[in-house]
Amino acid sequence: MTADAQRGSTPNNATFSLTDDATGNSTELPVITGSLGPSVIDVRSLYSATGRFTYDPGFTSTGSCESKITYIDGDEGILLHRGYPISELAENSDFLEVSYLLLYGELPSEKQKREFDDTITQHTMVHEQINYLFRGFRRDSHPMAVMIGVVGALAAFYHDTTDIQDPRQRMIASHRLIAKMPTIAAMAHKYAIGQPFVYPRNDLSYSENFLHMLFAVPCQDYEINPIQAKAMDRILILHADHEQNASTSTVRLAGSSGANPYACIAAGIATLWGPAHGGANEAVVLMLDEIGSVERIPECVARAKDKDDPFRLMGFGHRVYKNYDPRAKVLHKTCHEVLDDLGLDHEMFNIARELERIALEDEYFVERKLYPNVDFYSGIILKALGIPPHLFTVIFALARTVGWIAQWNEMIEDPHQKIGRPRQLYTGEKQRSYVPVGQRG
Ligand code: SDX
């Protein structure tokens, strides 16, 4: 089969022609052009027209949906949320304002922002029964395993808002998830270290409240450090959404069956945990710790290039970005600011910067367009804020919840939405007859 691309003169009647070498038949497929980025070949009629499937494990060339939420240009290193560049949002906005933007499509007015912040604040407490769920876990459980369990369990608590076809109920579930993730994340931390849970406070901002629930103890007042709160808020903004990544695609696929939204978010948390995805931030800090000094960097880079060694340079490379991840640029700058403002040593940061310098001069990385991604510097900042490494991906999940739920809402509202059900290339046994056990070889 050869692809003889004949694109129409205008986006409305552009087509892509495929000619089947086996039959000589040609198939015209519509080309759809969006507002930014590559056009798509609409292959929905391909199987009925040709009896053939497309084949794209890992979805390297497949658009799974239409979306208006986030746009990424991997070659130019561009990331827009509802059209606003991530660098401008990180510099000028706050996490709840970005959450409003992702959910509703526009930046809020002052009144809308005040009402949204109040709504989220009013949902930060969890049902008292949730406290008892934690007791079923070992204290040394990985907090991501705890998050999957506890967030999934929320599906058992809100029977009043399970009609996902009702926009009002969908938005209440969305607000509850955004509001309760910091509370549950902080509870997972407190449970792991044997300290009592700390209730949220309505007089604190979203990020201040999270730090307070993480670090406050009953026996003394906890003083919010505005530098730490601002750094945490910026980390959350930079992790809020990222187009159709693995965990977002999981949430969309789970949601396409009509599943409970809390259960869908739990599925997203499970996917994010993988070291190839959101688990990389924890892996980066463990890797930098293992390197230990600038002198050992060449050895680490050599291992990353060795095909016989499974070691990879964590925090480097990206399926979409073949340029510097714009989030990593902001995090590099934030890292420097936070360490300086908090008067902390830059040892790990210096190793990271030297590792980046060496890697970006190395042919192996240059040829494969492997640049630092969002996970490369985030862990250093979180470590500077006193967050233990095993909580790093939990914080990624906390931030990404708004992206997941915004994409879930968009999927439910999409009139073209159907249950996701991919096909396959079957290479197994052809039909054969059953052989009784006594007659087998
Ligand atoms: C996130 O999708 C998203 O948007 C994700 C994310 C989000 O916000 O949701 O941005 C968050 O997940 C960031 C990525 C975090 N993961 C890591 O930092 C782990 C290390 N990176 C890699 O595992 C890898 O780069 C991926 C998984 C991120 C991307 O993998 P791809 O696109 O499938 O690329 P690939 O594995 O086919 O690699 C292409 C080549 C291979 O070499 P060759 O076979 O061509 O010789 O590059 C090599 C790979 O071996 N390579 C690396 C490498 N990453 C890719 N070699 C050494 N170190 C690395 N980090």
Residue 177 pLDDT: 98
Instruction: Read off the pLDDT of residues 10-61 as tens digits, 9 standing for 90 and up.
Output: 355 789 999 988 888 899 999 999 999 999 999 999 999 999 999 999 999 9
Question: How many residues are given for the chain?
Answer: 441
Residue 12 pLDDT: 59
The proportion of the chain whose per-residue pLDDT surpasses 90, expressed as a percent, equals 89
Instruction: Read off the pLDDT of residues 84-120 as tens digits, 9 standing for 90 and up.
Output: 999 999 999 999 999 999 999 999 999 999 999 999 9
Instruction: Read off the pLDDT of residues 264-314 as tens digits, 9 standing for 90 and up.
Output: 999 999 999 999 999 999 999 999 999 999 999 999 999 999 999 998 899
4 is catalytic: no
CA atoms of 392 and 384, how far apart (whole Å): 12
Strand order across the 2-4 sheet: 2-4, 15-19, 26-32, 40-41
Collect all residues with Cβ–Cβ distance below 8 Å to 278 and sequence separation of at least 6: 247, 272, 375, 393, 396, 397, 400
Q: Answer whether 84's CB lies under 8 Å from 101's CB.
A: yes
In this prediction, residues 237-247 reach a mean pLDDT of 98
Residue 383, CB half-sphere, CA atoms under 13 Å: how many?
22
- Check whether 9 has a pLDDT greater than 90: no
Tell me the three state secondary structure of residue 426: coil
Dmax (CA) of the chain: 80
Residue 14 pLDDT: 87
- Check whether 180 has a pLDDT greater than 50: yes
Using a 6 Å cutoff on CB, does residue 245 contact ligand 1?
yes
Tell me the three state secondary structure of residue 39: coil
Residue 4 pLDDT: 40
- State both tokens at 382: 């979180």
β partners of residue 3: 18
β partners of residue 29: 16
**H runs (alpha helix) in 35-166:** 46-50, 86-92, 95-104, 110-122, 130-133, 143-153
Using a 6 Å cutoff on CB, does residue 375 contact ligand 1?
yes
Instruction: Read off the pLDDT of residues 332-355 as tens digits, 9 standing for 90 and up.
Output: 999 999 999 999 888 899 999 999
Q: Answer whether 27's CB lies under 8 Å from 12's CB.
A: no
Q: Answer whether 229's CB lies under 8 Å from 211's CB.
A: yes
Pocket test for ligand 1, best of 239, 277, 297, 404 (most atoms within 8 A of CB): 277
What is the overall mean pLDDT for the chain?
93
Q: Answer whether 97's CB lies under 8 Å from 113's CB.
A: yes
CA of 429 to the centre of ligand 1 (A): 33
Q: Answer whether 375's CB lies under 8 Å from 395's CB.
A: no
CA of 71 to the centre of ligand 1 (A): 19
- State both tokens at 318: 């990206």
Q: Answer whether 412's CB lies under 8 Å from 170's CB.
A: yes
Using a 6 Å cutoff on CB, does residue 304 contact ligand 1?
yes
Using a 6 Å cutoff on CB, does residue 390 contact ligand 1?
no
318 is catalytic: yes
DSSP 372: B
**H runs (alpha helix) in 216-325:** 226-238, 246-255, 261-272, 280-291, 297-305
- State both tokens at 65: 């949906």
Instruction: Read off the pLDDT of residues 120-130 as tens digits, 9 standing for 90 and up.
Output: 999 999 999 99
Using a 6 Å cutoff on CB, does residue 374 contact ligand 1?
yes
CA atoms of 392 and 179, how far apart (whole Å): 19
Residue nearest (by alpha carbon) to ligand 1 atom 20: 314
Backbone torsions φ then ψ of 404, nearest 5 degrees: -60, -45
- State both tokens at 99: 């959450």
Backbone torsions φ then ψ of 206, nearest 5 degrees: -55, -50
CA atoms of 398 and 387, how far apart (whole Å): 14
